[in-house]
Amino acid sequence: MAQIIGGLSTSHVPTIGRAIAGGKQREVPFAPFFEAFGPVHDWLDETKPDVAIVIYNDHGLNFFLDNMPTFAVGAAHEYRNADEGWGPPAPRVFRGAPALSWHIIGSLVADEFDVSTCQELIFDHAGITALDLAWEGHGPKPVAVVPIVVNAVMPPLPTPKRCYAFGQAIGRAIRSFDEDVKVLVIGSGGLSHELGQFGKINQSFDQLCMEKIVADPEALTRYSNDDIVDLAGAQGLELMTWLVMRGAVSGDVEVIKSLYFAPISHTGGAMMLLDNRC
């Protein structure tokens, strides 16, 4: 059976990709953030996951206002990147895991989460940045990926409670997959920020979220979406990706690494690696 070995969450900022391309990982303001991934690299070398479930919010690259699923699951053989408005990027291809994708989709629908299924999906910076931090650089990744997209852009938005329950359903789906694969669940987003309002970061709320994600994720399900926007800014809603991750990585966890460092751009550099093998 498939096993969830851990959960990794991180904020995503497109300039992280530029820092990697320019070899600026050890420069201001990125150095502490990239250094925090050293223990992640060691842990991944040891645990060697086969698949990464990448939970993120799309930023208008794949879904726009005309077609905005609440939850969508990639079911493609491969996923490609594209121009997100910063100029044509070097083309990249990420290997999919369609059998696991379809199993997750079937299990989620049976569990009353009526997700969109995407046999074509363009992978945006939120998913790609997380993979490029976990396996540093822009080279091919040693895992297959299952992208799972959460609407954090346009109302009506899924509530924190719904997102946590969605993550729990993803966890049940993965654990019932009848193949011996090791699965890492990644959540990419947040924490507090509002694009266009540089410096609008709520460090104390971010710290609280990081504590609660580990020890008491249900506490975060008591916030409304409006509460999150008030406390963490409009893009603070990306916190939902951490809640989905934590729902999947349910039960006891060991914190392998956790760092909050702000700012690195509109947002802080927030990351956390949870071992779920205990």
Instruction: For ligand DHB, give the closer residue by CB, 57 or 250.
Output: 57
Of 12, 59, 103, 125, the active-site residue reads 125
Dig out the tokens for 37 from the structure: 């991934």
Instruction: For ligand DHB, give the closer residue by CB, 181 or 232.
Output: 232
CB contact at 8 A, 84 and 125 = yes
- Is 125 catalytic? The answer is yes
- Is 103 catalytic? The answer is no
Instruction: For ligand DHB, give the closer residue by CB, 101 or 267.
Output: 267
Please state the closest distance from residue 144 (CB atom) to ligand DHB, in A.
24
Please state the closest distance from residue 124 (CB atom) to ligand DHB, in A.
8
Residues in the chain: 278
Cite the DSSP H helix spans in the chain. Answer: 14-21, 31-36, 38-47, 98-110, 125-134, 160-175, 203-215, 217-220, 225-232, 239-248
C-alpha–C-alpha distance, residues 190 and 261, integer Å: 12
Instruction: For ligand DHB, give the closer residue by CB, 151 or 168.
Output: 151
Q: Given the rule CB under 6 A, which residues bind ligand DHB?
A: 12-14, 59, 193, 195, 235, 238, 265-267
CB contact at 8 A, 270 and 192 = no
Q: Which amino acid appears at position 245 of this protein?
A: M
* CA distances for 240 relative to 91, 118, 164, 205, angstroms: 29, 20, 8, 14
* Active-site residue list: 125, 193
